[in-house]
């Protein structure tokens, strides 16, 4: 482009910035420029629609020749700012940039091809990696070691260009960079991956690296969903043999803006809104909504109700001192093989406005939370995992019991604090993971044993079990009537190739309903508070001094469930009815997993550790062992220990043998020689 053409283009763009008026008659960009000094801004944001409506040729030129047009735009912004505030214009002359937003067509990464090279595009995606911040040299000052002369070289691309020779003494090799006279700008590299909901089934997610420079660095973190406006460029790939014919596509970012923070991926029209409100007003609306959840699965009304409430959750509360109170509802399904646990989880991930499904067997701690990786350029980059990418949504984790202990332990912080903290490779960061965890696990022995407590039935640590608001056991018990109804349901689905009975609310409408309901933030009423308090105190009073009863965690779970139900019914107040439904769900859980099988009484010790009956037996066993070993701490014969336990009349022969094995396995006693034990 000739100097005359560039000058003409700059003049046209300056005129646009000075003269463009918004619908209310105000000078839109003159006002924006005048506000820059007060907030120390270095960027002028221009809406593409305004430029296109002002001059369609300028809009087309910006799309097809973005580098030249944006350079002229930066000069035009300086000229227009100098008209408003000359001193500030001179101060930020080198840093002033025009940022373009609201391009007419937003591309998905899958549609980005070679025809877009050199053009200005807008792409949407999810940030999965972000590098550390580094200075990037734009105009490097090279000092000749021989004569001291300084030569300035403009830098284009990622590799450093050196002067071919010194202008004064014709030296060709000995140059050093003079940092004081070199112009640097902030630089960051992020990786953008296509959104999970846009990913075609069975396809590998596409990704692209994006260069951020200037004041738009650090505007996006791993897990954020963004729209990037930038110029599509290429970078040559390298191998051990040298440069390859294959090039790598990159985006030189001009502007980056977050997609709506709340899940607004689906547009809700006025007609949809009216339909949603009419559903909520129906007399049996709650039952119809539950019936619409996973209609291919027969029965499980309680579990479907819990999943429905988990998809909504309660609003997260942030207290004045910065403390956050979790609003998301975590659910654990423990069940026999073939009880449709995985299907319920996959449905939850599909129905959630933002959901991810993963299997515990193929997931690591880094894949679930976050990892620090080194890029080819040598930069350390923070990469987000599944729970960070599912922020403000649902993470469905199947085969929860098959995960390695160290991988599963990474979820402790996520499930209560709802953050992921990383301190690796010199990077210390805390990422948001405000997600509901819906997990499924199989019993240790293949089938759930009703004569054993939950902690003996499932291979999960106690601290993790306590972080689930609701735990349900799905048992496969032969029952002629139920088996016949289930078989007919499955056969009908296979015969029709569709639902056995059409759900009351269509899947897409249910998703829109959930998105709409998630905007509501209900407040507790006095009646609801009284009901929840009464039930909580009732549960607390059931325990004795030595029994582990319900804790404030269960009270908070009740509040979350009641608030989620109020949201589902599109109410801004949590009513007594909502509190009663929450209590009913909690009661159903306690009646199955919260009962000590030895005593038949509710004892939260089965989830929080060991129930009172087991702890009293353990204390008895340790006392018997101590008396047998005597003050000399002699080894105790296992056979005699079992006999003494049976004599207390608290143990049967089989239970006494099991207690010996338990003490040995837990490390409280150890075998010194075959059949003889000593206490640690």
For residues 88 and 117, state if they share a domain: no
What is the mean pLDDT of the segment spanning 240-252? 80
523 vs 652, more confident: 523
For residues 97 and 116, state if they share a domain: no
Give whole-number Cα distances, 61 to 9, 73, 77, 339, in Å: 10, 12, 17, 60
For the domain that residue 403 is a member of, what is the CATH number? 3.40.50.300
For the domain that residue 625 is a member of, what is the CATH number? 1.10.10.10
Q: Lowest mean pLDDT: which of 13-17, 247-251, 359-363, 558-562?
A: 359-363
Q: Which domain holds residue 619?
A: 612-679
* Helix ranges (DSSP H) in 85-230: 86-91
Q: Does residue 36 lie in a domain region? A: yes
Q: Lowest mean pLDDT: which of 217-226, 227-236, 451-460?
A: 451-460
What is the mean pLDDT of the segment spanning 469-493? 85
Tens digit of pLDDT for each residue in 400-432?
888 887 777 778 888 888 888 877 767 777 888
**Backbone torsions φ then ψ of 252, nearest 5 degrees:** -90, 105
For residues 240 and 352, state if they share a domain: no
For residues 60 and 113, state if they share a domain: no
Q: Does residue 558 lie in a domain region? A: yes
Query: What's the confidence (pLDDT) of residue 563?
Result: 92
For residues 343 and 455, state if they share a domain: yes
Where does a domain end: 420, 447, 477? Answer: 477
For residues 367 and 331, state if they share a domain: yes
pLDDT for 613 beyond 60: no
Q: Lowest mean pLDDT: which of 8-22, 155-169, 321-335, 519-533?
A: 155-169
The residue among 268, 609, 593, 264 whose CA lies nearest residue 452 is 593
| DSSP E strand stretches across 145-221 | 150-154, 175-177, 183-193, 207-213
71 vs 353, more confident: 71
Q: Does residue 639 lie in a domain region? A: yes
For the domain that residue 122 is a member of, what is the CATH number? 2.40.50.140
Tens digit of pLDDT for each residue in 64-92?
888 888 888 888 888 888 888 888 888 88
Residues 6+ positions from 209 with CB-CB distance below 8 Å: 189, 190, 191, 192, 248, 250, 251
For residues 573 and 631, state if they share a domain: no
Cα radius of gyration rounded to whole Å, the chain: 33
**Backbone torsions φ then ψ of 251, nearest 5 degrees:** -120, 125
Query: What's the confidence (pLDDT) of residue 610?
Result: 52
| Domains: count for the chain | 5
Q: Does residue 176 lie in a domain region? A: yes
For the domain that residue 38 is a member of, what is the CATH number? 3.30.1640.10
What is the mean pLDDT of the segment spanning 530-549? 71
For the domain that residue 536 is a member of, what is the CATH number? 1.10.8.60
Q: Does residue 298 lie in a domain region? A: no
What share of the chain has pLDDT > 90, as a percent?
Answer: 3
The residue among 519, 513, 508 whose CA lies nearest residue 275 is 513
For residues 325 and 465, state if they share a domain: yes
pTM of the complete model beyond 0.75 = no
For residues 111 and 237, state if they share a domain: yes
Query: What's the confidence (pLDDT) of residue 615?
Result: 53
Asked if residues 16 and 23 have their Cβ atoms less than 8 Å apart, the reply is no
For residues 205 and 246, state if they share a domain: yes
What burial class does residue 215 get, using C-beta atoms within 10 Å of its C-beta: 0-12 exposed, 13-18 middle, 19+ buried? middle
Query: What's the confidence (pLDDT) of residue 544?
Result: 47
What is the mean pLDDT of the segment spanning 331-337? 87
Tens digit of pLDDT for each residue in 18-70?
888 888 878 888 888 888 888 888 888 888 888 888 888 888 888 888 888 88
Query: What's the confidence (pLDDT) of residue 675?
Result: 76
Residue 359, both tokens: 């299997």
Where does a domain end: 600, 626, 656? Answer: 600
What is the mean pLDDT of the segment spanning 126-130? 83
For residues 97 and 113, state if they share a domain: no
β 183-193/207-213 pair status: antiparallel
Asked if residues 249 and 232 have their Cβ atoms less than 8 Å apart, the reply is yes
- Angle, helices 341-351 vs 507-517, to 10°: value is 60
* 25 DSSP assignment: S
For residues 128 and 92, state if they share a domain: no
pLDDT for 653 beyond 80: no
Q: Does residue 309 lie in a domain region? A: no
Q: How far is Cα 77 from Cα 73, in angstroms, rounded to an integer? A: 6
Q: Does residue 277 lie in a domain region? A: no
Where does a domain end: 212, 235, 258? Answer: 258
Q: Lowest mean pLDDT: which of 110-114, 140-144, 354-358, 360-364?
A: 360-364
pLDDT for 301 beyond 50: yes
Query: What's the confidence (pLDDT) of residue 265?
Result: 47
Query: What's the confidence (pLDDT) of residue 562?
Result: 92
CB atoms within 10 A of CB 110: 14
Q: Does residue 268 lie in a domain region? A: no
Tens digit of pLDDT for each residue in 577-599?
999 999 888 888 877 775 655 55
């Amino acid at each position: 482009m000739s100097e005359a053409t560039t000058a003409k283009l700059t003049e046209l763009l300056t005129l646009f910035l000075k003269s463009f008026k918004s619908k209310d008659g105000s000078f839109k960009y003159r006002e924006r420029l005048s506000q820059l000094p007060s907030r120390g801004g270095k960027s002028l944001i221009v809406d593409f629609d305004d430029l296109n409506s002002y001059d369609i040729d300028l809009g087309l030129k910006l799309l097809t020749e973005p580098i030249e047009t944006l350079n002229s735009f930066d000069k035009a912004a300086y000229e227009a700012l100098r008209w408003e505030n000359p001193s500030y214009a001179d101060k930020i002359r080198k840093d002033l940039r025009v940022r373009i937003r609201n391009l007419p067509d937003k591309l998905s990464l899958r549609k980005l091809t070679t025809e877009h090279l050199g053009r200005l595009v807008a792409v949407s995606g999810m940030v999965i990696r972000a590098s550390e911040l580094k200075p990037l040299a734009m105009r490097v000052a090279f000092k000749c070691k021989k004569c001291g002369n300084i030569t300035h070289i403009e830098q284009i691309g990622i590799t450093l260009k050196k002067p071919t020779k010194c202008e004064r003494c014709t030296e060709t090799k000995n140059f050093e960079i003079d940092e004081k006279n070199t112009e640097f700008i902030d630089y960051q590299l992020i990786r953008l991956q296509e959104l999970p909901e846009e990913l075609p089934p069975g396809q590998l997610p596409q990704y692209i690296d994006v260069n951020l420079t200037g004041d738009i660095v650090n505007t996006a973190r791993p897990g954020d969903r963004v729209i990037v406006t930038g110029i599509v460029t290429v970078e040559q790939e390298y191998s051990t043999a040298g440069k390859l014919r294959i090039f790598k596509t990159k985006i030189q970012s001009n502007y980056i803006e977050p997609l709506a923070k709340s899940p607004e991926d689906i547009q809700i029209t006025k007609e949809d809104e009216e339909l949603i409100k009419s559903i909520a007003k129906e007399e049996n609306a709650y039952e119809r909504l539950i019936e619409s959840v996973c209609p291919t699965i027969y029965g499980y009304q309680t579990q479907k109700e819990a999943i429905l409430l988990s998809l909504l959750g309660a609003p997260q509360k942030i207290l004045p001192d910065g403390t956050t109170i979790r609003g998301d509802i975590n659910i654990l399904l423990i069940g026999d093989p073939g009880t449709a646990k995985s299907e319920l989880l996959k449905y939850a991930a599909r129905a959630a406005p933002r959901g991810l499904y993963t299997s515990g067997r193929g997931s690591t701690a880094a894949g679930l939370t976050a990892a620090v990786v080194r890029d080819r350029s040598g930069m350390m980059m923070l990469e987000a995992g599944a729970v960070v990418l599912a922020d403000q949504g649902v993470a469905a984790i199947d085969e929860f019991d098959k995960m390695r202990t160290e991988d599963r332990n990474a979820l402790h912080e996520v499930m209560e604090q709802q953050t992921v903290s990383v301190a690796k490779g010199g990077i210390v960061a805390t990422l948001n993971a405000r997600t509901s965890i819906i997990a499924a696990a199989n019993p240790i022995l293949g089938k759930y044993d009703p004569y054993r407590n939950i902690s003996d039935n499932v291979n999960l640590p106690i601290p993790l079990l306590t972080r689930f608001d609701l735990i349900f056991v799905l048992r496969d018990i032969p029952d002629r009537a139920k088996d016949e109804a289930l078989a007919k349901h499955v056969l009908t689905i296979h015969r029709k190739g569709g639902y056995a009975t059409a759900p009351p609310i269509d899947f897409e409408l249910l998703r829109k309903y959930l998105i709409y309901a998630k905007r509501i933030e209900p407040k507790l009423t006095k009646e609801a508070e009284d009901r929840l308090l009464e039930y909580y105190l009732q549960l607390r009073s059931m325990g004795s001094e030595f029994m582990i009863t319900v804790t404030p965690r269960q009270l908070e779970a009740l509040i979350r469930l009641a608030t989620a139900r109020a949201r589902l019914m599109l109410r801004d107040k949590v009513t007594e009815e909502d509190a009663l439904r929450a209590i009913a769900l909690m009661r159903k859980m306690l009646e199955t997993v919260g009962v000590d099988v030895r005593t038949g009484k509710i004892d939260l010790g089965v989830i929080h550790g060991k129930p009172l009956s087991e702890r009293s037996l353990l204390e008895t066993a340790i006392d018997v062992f101590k008396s047998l070993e005597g003050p000399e701490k002699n080894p105790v014969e296992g056979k005699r220990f079992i006999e003494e336990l049976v004599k207390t009349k608290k143990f049967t022969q089989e239970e006494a043998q099991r207690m010996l094995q338990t003490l040995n396995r837990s490390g409280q006693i150890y075998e010194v020689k075959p059949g003889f034990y000593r206490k640690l």
